[in-house]
Amino acid sequence: MKYFVNEQDIVIPGQIIAEGENINLSGSVYKNGNKAIANNVGIVQKATENKIRVKPLKGKYFPNVKDIVIGLVEETNLTSWKVDIGGPYPAILLVSNATNDQFDPINDDARKYFDVGDAIRAEIRTFDRTRDPQLSTTTGKGLGKLVGGRIIEINPSLISRVIGRNGSMISKIKEFTGCKIIVGHNGRVWIRGENVDKELKVIEAIDKIIQESHVTGLTERVIQFLKEK
Amino acid sequence: MTEKGIVTSTVERNYILTLLERGKRLDGRGLSDYRPIKIKTGIVEKAEGSALVELGNTKVVAGVKLSIGKPYDDYPNKATLIVTGELNPTASPAFRNGPPSPESIELTRVTDRIIRESECVDLEDLCIIEGEKVWTIFLDIYPLDHDGNLFDACAIAAFAALSSTKVPEIKIDEMGEIEKLDTSRSIKLKEIPVSITTYKLGDFKITDPSYKEEDAGDARITIGFTEDHIVSAQKGGFGAFKSQELMDIFESSFKRSKELRSVIKSALNL
Amino acid sequence: MNELERLDGRSANELRNLQIEVGVLHRADGSARVILGKNEVIAAVNGPRELHPKHMALSQKAIVQVTYKMLPFSVEYRKHPIPSRREKEISKVLSEAFESIILTKLFPRSTIDIQVQMIQSDGGSRTAAAIATSAALADAGIPMRGLIGGIASGLYQDHCVLDLSGIEDNEGTGDCPILYSPALDEVSLLQLDGKFTLDQFKTCFNMSIDAIKKIDEVQRAALVKKYDVIRQSILGEEPLEEDDEKAALLTVNQDVTDADVESPTQSEEPEQSSEDMTETDVTVEESQIDEVKEETVDIPKETTPVEEASTDSSSESQASEDTVVKGETSINKESLIAETLDKISKDESPKPSFDEKYNEIDEALKEANDLVTKINKHTTEPEETADKTQSSEEEDRDQFDESSVKSVTELLYEKRKNEQVKDKEKPKSGFFSSKMQELLQNNKLSTGDLNIDVTKEESTKEDEKKREVERDLEYMEYEE
C-alpha cells in the first residue's frame, strides 16, 4: 500500500492516488489493477490508513434516491409535471405522488397544484439509471411548493461547507437573520426572510462562506459579519 | 434575449420585482446602471479588425474580414457591408448548433441596422473603382458568454471591431489589376453609434439587464443613437409598452447614450 | 540534408507558446481557453444533460458531441459560417477521441456537449482544440479516466519537426496530429497526411508523445491554479466518513444545551413518524395544501421525513410554525444533517462501483480468470461502504419488497448491475484503429512500438440475449 498524494492535495483525472491491495475507495476514484486513480478534479481526503476519498470539486448534481431537492417545474402534463432538478435528467412528478387527493385528469387540472415556473421541494422516490428520477411530495413534511423567498444555486459539492459541521453554520445564519433556509442536495438554496434585506444578508453570508472559508475562524467571522449587518 | 427552453421560476421573478421596488438589482446595481465595460481590440491577428467586449459577464467577440468585391448597382461608389452572427452553445447552454435561430437572426439584423444606418463607417472611402471594385466588409459577431444584454454588447463589439480595422493600401496598375500592398491605413469613422436596451419588468424599466432579468422581463426595446439622431429601434418580448412609457424611455436612453458614448470613446482612444 | 531553419527560430522539437486558462466562461458548466502560438481557442462544456432529440440517446451511456467551429475571421480568408466538411470531420474524430476517456457509462441517456470555437487558427488547430476540450471537461467536473493532450508533428524541409505553424504546415510535406493521454498511455486520435518513411513516422510520433507529456503538465497546472482557491475553502473540512460521523454525532448530542431539544428516539423511528406524516397529510384540506407546504419547510435537508413537528392547518400556522422552528434546532437536526452530509458522500458512491467495473473490464480482457471473483468483489463492495448509515434506507427497501412491482425492479437492477460488469467494454478507437491496423500491416510495425491497443471484436450474441430478456422483463414491469 503506497500513497502518491498527500491529504488535501488536488488531484487531476488520471492521477494515480494509491497503489496496493485492499484500498478502500470512495468518491471520484476508479481502480485499475491495484491502482487507485482519480477520475475528476478533486481533493484527497483520507479517513483511515486504508480509506481514501476523493471529493470532487465540481460537477453536476447526480440524483440519488431519498435526496431532497429543490426543483423547478418546467412542464405540466395531464397527470404529471416535468421538473428541472439541475442534473442530467429531468425529474417526473406524478400527480399520485404529489397529492393524496382523488385526482381525475378529465375534470381536475394539475396546474392547480403546481404550475410552470413554480419551485418545489421534493424527495427523489426512485431513480435507477434506466429511467428518469421520480419525485414525490407526499412522503414527508415540508415537501411541496416553495412560495416567496428566493433561490440561489451553489456548487453541490460545497453545500456541506454552507451547512457547517453538524449544521453549525446554517443554524447561526438562521439565528441571526431569522430567515428560513433550505439547502437542497442539488445545490439550490431557498431563502425566505421577513424582508428582502434579511434575505440579502443570508445570500451575502453564503457568498462569504464559499469565497473565504479557507481562513480559520470562519464561523466567528460570519457571526461578526451578521452582527455588523 | 429570452432563451428558449429555460423557464424562469416565479420565485425568481417575484424576487427580482421585490428588489426593484427597493431600487435594487440582483447584483446590487441601480435600475439604470450599466455593468463595467471592457473593450479589447486587435485580438485576432488574422482579421483586419477585431474586438472582444465584456459587459459584466457578457462576452462578445467580433471580427472584420475585408475582401475586394463588386458594389451594389444602386450604390456604385460605396463599399458593401455584411453583418452576420451566430448564437451557439458556447454562449449559453440553451443555444443550439444548426441553422440560425430566429433569435440570432434578430440579434444580427438589429446590430446590422445600427451600424448601417448610423453610417459610422465612411463607405465611400472604401470604394476602389467606382461601379466595379469596392471593399466588402464582412463583420462577424459571436457572443461567447451570455449574461444578458447581447444587443448592446454586440453593437459595441461590432463598432469596436470596425474602428480597429486596418484597410490594406492598394495599387492599381495600367491593366486595371489590383495589388494589395503591405501597408495599411485606418478605416474612416464618421459617427459613434450607441445601442441602449431597456427591459420592462412589471412597472419597472431597467437598462443593461442580466440574463436572469431578461428571462423574467416582459418587453424589450433596443434603440440605436448617434450623436444627434435615433438611427434604429427594435421592440421585442411578449409584453408591450404604454405610449408614454416609450416616450420616457426614448428620452432617458438618449441621455444615457451620451454617457455610454464617452465611455466607448475613451476605451477606444477615439 | 540541409540544416533546419524554422520561421520562428524554434528548434525541431520545440513547442510554441502554450497558455491554458480554465473557467473562462460564466454560463457554461466548464470552459477553457488555450493559446498555442497564434491559435486561440475557447471550449465550452455543457452537460451531462438531457438529449434532444430523445431518440438519439443511448440507454447504456452518455453520448459525447464535440462541435469544432472556426469563426469566420479566424483564418486568412473569411471562412463561411456554415460548417465545412473539414469542421465536421474534426468534430467527429474529436468526439470519438473524448468518448474513449469519459466515463460515459455513468450518465446513460444523456449527452455531453462540447463547443470548441477557434478564434484564431494557425496550424495544429485541432490539437489546440483537444487541449482546450480536455481542460474544459475537467473543469466541468466530468468523470474521465485521464486528461488528453495533443500536438501535431510533421515534415518541414525534410526534417521531422514538432508543432507546425500554419505556414510550415502549408510548405511542409507531412502532417500528423496525435491525441494522447500520458496517464493512460493511450493514443485516442491519430491522423496523417503526406509522405513519411517509417523512421520519420517513428521520430515524429515519439517527439509528439514527449511534447504531450509537457502539455499535460501545463494542463494540470491550469486546473490546479483554479481549483486551489476552492481547495482552500474546503481545507478546514474534515473528511466525513460514516464512522466518524456517528461518533461526532454522539459527542455533539452530549454537548447540546439548547432547551428545545427533542427526544432522540424520534429519529430512531422514522417509519413510525412517516406514518404519522401521511396521516396528517391526509387531513390537510386541498385548499390549504399550498399554504401549509409553504410554511413547513425549514430543515436544510432531512434524509428521512422524520421530525418536523406537525403543522396541521393554516389557521394555526403562525403558532405551530414557531414550535416547528424551535423544535428543529435539536438533536434530530444534527443527526439529519450528519445524515445529509453522509448523503453527499454517498452521492458519489455509485460512481466508483461503475468506474471500477469500467476498468476491471479492461483488465478482465487480459485476465479472464480473475473476472468472476472481481465481479463479486465489486458488486458487494460499494454496498458495504454505504450500508452502515443507511439503515433507514434498508427499512424502506423492506417496505418496497411488499409490492411486487418493486421486487421486479430490484431484480432487474441486480441483473443489470451484474450485466454491466460482464458487458465487455473497450475504449473506442473506431476510425483510428482501422487506419492504424492498415498502417501496421503495411509497415510491419509491431503494436508494442506504438503502444496502441488494437481493439478486439467482442462476441455480442450473449449480451443480446440478455438484453432481450431484460427488455421483456421491463415490458412486464410497465404493464404491471
- Give B229-252 pLDDT, tens digit per residue: 999 999 999 899 999 999 999 999
The verdict on a CB contact (< 8 Å) between A148 and B22 is no
* CB neighbours of residue A207 within 10 Å: 12
Distance CA B28, CA B33 (A): 10
Give the count of domains, chain A: 3
* A165 inside domain: yes
Q: Is the pLDDT of residue C140 over 90?
A: yes
Taking the complete model, does pTM exceed 0.90, yes or no? no
Higher pLDDT, C147 or A210: C147
Specify the CATH number for the domain of residue C62.
Answer: 3.30.230.70
| C104 and C216 together in one domain | yes
Residue of C184, C122, C167 lying closest to C362 (CA atoms): C184
Show Cβ contacts of residue C35 under 8 Å, excluding neighbours closer than 6 positions. C17, C18, C19
Quick check: A72 contacting C, CB < 8 Å?
A: no
Task: Show which subunits contact A, needing at least 3 CB pairs below 8 angstroms.
Answer: B, C
Residue C57 CB coordination number (10 Å): 16
Domain that holds residue C272: 242-344
CB C19 within 8 A of CB C34: yes
Same domain? A85 vs A126:
yes
Q: Is C333 on the interface with A (CB under 8 A)?
A: yes
Look up the CATH number of the domain holding residue A114.
2.40.50.140
pLDDT bin (cut points 50, 70, 90) of residue C239 is very low
Q: Are B157 and B229 in contact (CB under 8 A)?
A: no
Same domain, C230 and C294: no
Q: Which of A137-141, B2-6, C43-47 has the highest mean pLDDT?
A: C43-47
pLDDT band at C318 (very low <50, low <70, confident <90, very high): very low
In total, chain B counts a number of residues equal to: 270
Given a contact cutoff of 8 angstroms between Cβ atoms, the answer to whether C346 and C386 are in contact is yes
Point out the least confidently predicted range of C150-154, C343-347, C438-442.
C343-347
Section A189-202 average pLDDT = 86
pLDDT value for C233: 59
What phi, psi does C170 have (nearest 5°)? Answer: -70, -40
Rounded Cα–Cα distance for residues A223 and B80 (Å): 63
Shared domain check, C248 and C110: no
Last residue in a domain, options A146, A164, A185 = A146
Residue A62 falls inside a structural domain: no
Q: Which three cell numbers stand for residue A141?
A: 413534511
For residues C428 and C452, is the Cβ–Cβ distance under 8 A? Answer: no
pLDDT the model gives residue A215:
53
Torsion sign across C-alpha atoms A177, A206, A87, A54:
negative
Q: So what's the pLDDT on residue C426?
A: 41
Q: Which residues of B touch C122 (CB under 8 A)?
A: 46
pLDDT band at A166 (very low <50, low <70, confident <90, very high): confident
C240 contacts A160? CB cut-off 8 A: yes
CA C443 from chain center: how many Å?
37
Q: How buried is B171 (Cβ within 10 angstroms: 0-12 exposed, 13-18 middle, 19+ buried)? A: exposed
Which pLDDT value is given to residue C12? Answer: 92
User: Is residue A8 a part of any domain in this protein?
Assistant: yes
Residues C71, C26 share a domain: yes
CA distance linking residue C438 with residue C425, whole number of Å: 23
The reported pLDDT for the residue numbered A34 is 87
Burial (0-12, 13-18, 19+ Cβ within 10 Å), C477:
middle
CB of C134 less than 8 A from some CB of B: no
* Any domain includes B5: no
**What pLDDT does residue C246 have?**
34
Tell me the CB-side half-sphere exposure of residue B85, using CA atoms within 13 A. 30
Same domain, A124 and A160: no
CB contact under 8 A, B211 and C27: yes
Residue C237 pLDDT exceeds 70? no
In chain C, how many domains are there?
Answer: 3
Q: What angle do CA A211, A212, A217 make, to 5 degrees?
A: 150
Q: Is the CB of A116 inside 8 Å of chain B's CB atoms?
A: yes
Q: Examine the domain organization and report whether A162 and A127 are in the same domain.
A: no
> Do residues C381 and C388 lie in contact, with contact meaning Cβ atoms separated by under 8 Å?
no
Give the 3-state secondary structure percentages of chain B, helix then strand then coil, rounded to 5.
30, 35, 40
Inter-chain contact A151–B18, Cβ cutoff 8 Å? no
What pLDDT digit, counting tens, does each position of C198-235 carry?
Answer: 999 999 999 999 999 999 999 999 998 887 766 665 55
Best mutation target, A22, A100, A120, A166, to test chain C (most C CBs within 10 A): A166
- Asked if the Cβ–Cβ distance from C142 to A48 is below 8 Å, we say no
Query: Does residue A77 fall inside a structural domain?
Result: yes
Q: Angle CA(A202)–CA(A208)–CA(A211) in degrees, nearest 5?
A: 140
Strands B80-85 and B133-145, bridge-based pairing? parallel
Pairwise CB contact (< 8 Å): B7 & A150: no
Residue C156 has a pLDDT of: 92
Three-state secondary structure call for residue C176:
strand
The answer to whether residue C308 scores a pLDDT higher than 50 is no
Render chain A in DSSP notation, one character per residue. Answer: -EESS-TT-EE-TT-EEEESSS-EEEESEEEETTEEEE-SSEEEEESSTTEEEEEESS------TT-EEEEEEEEE-SSEEEEE-SSSS-EEEEHHHH-SS---TTT--GGGT--TT-EEEEEEEE--SSS--EEESSSSTT-EEE-SSEEEE--GGGHHHHH-GGGHHHHHHHHHH--EEEE-TTSEEEEE-SSHHHHHHHHHHHHHHHHHTTSS-HHHHHHHHHHH-
**pLDDT-based confidence at residue C333 (cuts at 50, 70, 90):** very low
In the prediction, which pLDDT does A212 show?
64
pLDDT value at position C321? 37
Does B165 map to a domain?
yes
Closest CA to B211 of B119, B110, B103, B84: B103
In this prediction, residues C80-102 reach a mean pLDDT of 95
Residue type, C305: P
Q: How confident is the model at residue C51 (pLDDT cuts 50, 70, 90)?
A: confident
**Mean pLDDT lowest for which of A13-17, A41-45, C427-431, C450-454?**
C450-454
Residue C302 has pLDDT above 50, yes or no: no
B1-11 mean pLDDT: 64
Q: Number of structural domains, chain B?
A: 1
| C343 with A67: Cβ contact below 8 A | yes
C71 to B61: CB separation less than 8 angstroms, yes or no: yes
* Cβ within 8 Å of residue C314, ≥6 positions away: C288, C291, C292, C295
Nearest CA in chain C to A123: C303
| Tens-digit pLDDT profile for residues C362-417 | 454 455 445 444 444 544 443 333 333 333 333 333 333 333 333 444 555 555 55
Q: What is the mean pLDDT of chain C?
A: 66
Backbone torsion region of residue C125, taken as left when φ is above 0, otherwise alpha when ψ lies between -120 and 50, otherwise beta: alpha
Instruction: Name the pLDDT band for C348 (thresholds 50, 70, 90).
Output: very low
Domain boundary among C315, C344, C373: C344
pLDDT digits (tens, 9 = 90+) for A111-153: 888 999 899 999 999 998 788 899 999 888 788 898 888 888 8
Pairing state of beta strands C18-22 and C30-36? antiparallel
Ramachandran angles phi, psi of C413, nearest 5°:
-65, -45
Over range C276-281, report the average pLDDT.
32
- Backbone phi, psi, residue A26, to 5°: -150, 165
Same domain, A118 and A78: yes
- Statement to judge: residues C367 and C307 lie in one domain: no
Which of A189-203, B26-40, B155-169, C354-368 shows the lowest per-residue confidence on average (mean pLDDT)? C354-368
Mean pLDDT, rounded, for B151-173? 95
- Residue range(s) defining the domain that contains residue A85: 68-146
Q: Which of residues 11-50 of B touch A (CB under 8 A)?
A: 11-15, 18-19, 22, 24
**B56: phi > 0 → left, psi -120 to 50 → alpha, else beta; which?**
left
pLDDT in the model for residue B12: 86
Half-sphere exposure (Cβ direction) of B80: Cα atoms closer than 13 Å: 17
Chain B positions touching C23 (Cβ under 8 A) are: none
Peptide bond into A56 cis (omega under 30): no
Provide the H-helix boundaries in C256-370: 265-268, 270-283, 289-296, 317-328, 331-346, 350-366
Query: Which residues of chain C are within 8 Å of residue A113 when distances are taken between CB atoms?
Result: 289
Lowest mean pLDDT among A112-116, C11-15, C263-267, C284-288: C263-267
Q: With contacts defined as CB-CB under 8 Å, which chain B residues touch A116? A: 7
Cβ within 8 Å of residue A134, ≥6 positions away: A91, A92, A93, A94, A97, A124, A125, A126, A127
Question: Predicted confidence band at B84 (pLDDT cuts at 50, 70, 90)?
Answer: very high
Residue B3 resides in a domain: no
pLDDT band at C421 (very low <50, low <70, confident <90, very high): low
Taking residues A36-55, report their average pLDDT.
Answer: 81
In 3D space, the residue among C165, C168, C169, C178 whose CA is nearest the CA of residue C204 turns out to be: C178
Which stretches does DSSP call E strand in C1-62?
A: 18-22, 30-36, 39-50
Q: What is the pLDDT of residue B5?
A: 53
Residue C156 contacts residue C200 (beta carbons within 8 Å): no
What CATH number is attached to the domain comprising A33?
2.40.50.100
How high does pLDDT run on average in chain B? Answer: 92
Give the nearest chain A residue to B215 (CA atoms).
Answer: A117
**Which of C178, C202, C234 is a domain's end point?**
C234
Say if CB B208 and CB B257 are below 8 A apart: no
| Residue B233 placed within a domain | yes
Indicate if A160 and A203 belong to the same structural domain. yes
Are residues A138 and A160 both part of a single domain? Answer: no
Answer whether A146 sits within 8 Å of B15, measured CB to CB. no
Measured in angstroms, the CA of B199 and the nearest CA of chain C are apart by 21
pLDDT above 70 coverage of chain B, percent: 97
The CATH number linked to B49 is 3.30.230.70
Question: What is the reported pLDDT for C235?
Answer: 57
A-to-B residue pairs, Cβ atoms closer than 8 angstroms: 35
| Residue-range definition of the domain harbouring residue B18 | 10-268
Domain boundary residue among A14, A30, A56?
A: A56
Is the pLDDT confidence value at C126 over 50? Answer: yes
Please tell me the predicted confidence (pLDDT) of residue C332: 46
Average pLDDT, chain A: 85
C270-283 vs C391-402: helix axis angle to the nearest 10? Answer: 60
Q: What are the phi and psi torsion angles at C373 (to 5°)? A: -60, -40
Same domain, A96 and A159: no
Identify whether A40 is part of a domain: yes
**Who contacts A114 (Cβ-Cβ below 8 Å, separation ≥6)?**
A73, A76, A81, A93, A98, A120, A145
B67 chain-C contacts, CB cut-off 8 A:
77-78
CA distance A134 to A125: 5
In the DSSP assignment, the letter for residue B82 is E
pLDDT of residue C320 exceeding 50, the answer is no
**Chain C residue closest to A61 (CA)?**
C347
The DSSP 8-state label assigned to residue C167 in this structure reads H
**Residue position matching grid coordinates 471473483:** C373
Q: In this model, does residue C253 exceed pLDDT 50?
A: no
Distance, in Å, from the CA atom of A192 to the CA atom of A199, rounded to the nearest integer, reads 6
The answer for C 225-244 residues in CB contact with A (under 8 A) is: 227-228, 230-241, 243-244
Task: Tally the residues of chain C.
Answer: 480
Backbone phi, psi, residue A76, to 5°: -115, 135
* End residue of a domain, out of C234, C254, C282: C234
In terms of DSSP bridges, do strands C18-22 and B230-236 run parallel, antiparallel, or are they unpaired? unpaired
C227 and C322 assigned to the same domain: no
Max Cα separation, chain A? 67
CA–CA separation, C271 vs B220, rounded Å?
53
Å from C79 to nearest chain A CA? 35
Partner residue opposite C74 with nearest CB, options B46, B59, B86: B46
Rounded to the nearest 5 degrees, what angle is found at the Cα of B170, between the Cα atoms of B167 and B172?
155
Same domain assignment for residues A80 and A135:
yes
Q: What are phi and psi of B239, to 5 degrees?
A: -85, -175
In a domain, C154, yes or no: yes
Residue C53: asked if its preceding bond is cis (omega within 30°), the reply is: yes
Among the residue ranges A16-25, A217-226, B124-133, the one predicted with the least confidence is A217-226
**What pLDDT is stored for residue C373 in this prediction?**
44
Which residues in chain A touch residue C243, judged by CB atoms under 8 angstroms apart?
A: 47
Give me the pLDDT at residue A95, please.
Answer: 92
Residues A21 and A82 in one domain: no
Three cell numbers written together for C361: 473490464
Residues in chain A within 8 Å Cβ distance of C147: 12-14
Give A 149-168 residues with CB within 8 A of chain C: 156-161, 163, 165-167
Q: Going by DSSP bridges, is the β-strand pair B204-207/B230-236 parallel, antiparallel, or unpaired?
A: unpaired
Contacts of C355 (CB under 8 A, 6+ apart): A29, A30, A31, A39, C103, C106, C143
CA C347 to chain B, closest CA, distance in angstroms equals 24
